[in-house]
Structure 1
Amino acid sequence: MKKDELAARRHRFEQRIMQERLQITSAVRDWHEATAPIDQGWQQLARYKGPILLGSGVLVTMLSRSKGRVGRMLKRSIVAYTMARRAKKMIGR
């Protein structure tokens, strides 16, 4: 009788462990689905890490030399960015 009780108890524990593993797997999947947009945004930002670092280095260099040039360069870069976005939208249609 003792062996039967131990075997039944062991079976209940194994079933409980299996159920908890399934719950953890489900929770991890839900977590990955919830954080997917953040991960995608971070990956996109990481893609442009080189140009961002280069641009910020150039900007700091320009700031240290002349403030008038930086303003003009900033305005030109904003205009170029806006034109590129509009061109992309027009080509995409």
Structure 2
Amino acid sequence: MRLFLSLLLSASLISFTPALSVAQTAAKKPEVQKGQTEKVISPGQLAARERQKTCGVEWKKIKGTKAADGKAWPQFWSECNKRLKGQQA
């Protein structure tokens, strides 16, 4: 009975969680509280975030397949980041 109630509660919480698209999350500006200044993000940091998003999409596609070669996310991220940096140069 407890398991059933737990599953029911978790399912109801998941169904009420709004799904935001990548465009919606990127368009959101961080809230700046009174007395704080807005943090300026350098072009290098923006490029790194874009590379991480790109690598994340690739990781989700290959995770659990033979293409992952038994790598964990940190190893995959390192290789993917180097590859994408090389393409930009």
Compute the TM-score of the two structures, normalised by the length of structure 2: 0.32
Choose between structure 1 and 2 for higher RCO, CA contacts under 8 A separated by at least 6 residues. 2
TM-score, with structure 1 as normaliser:
0.31
**Relative to total residues, which structure has the larger helix share, 1 or 2?**
1
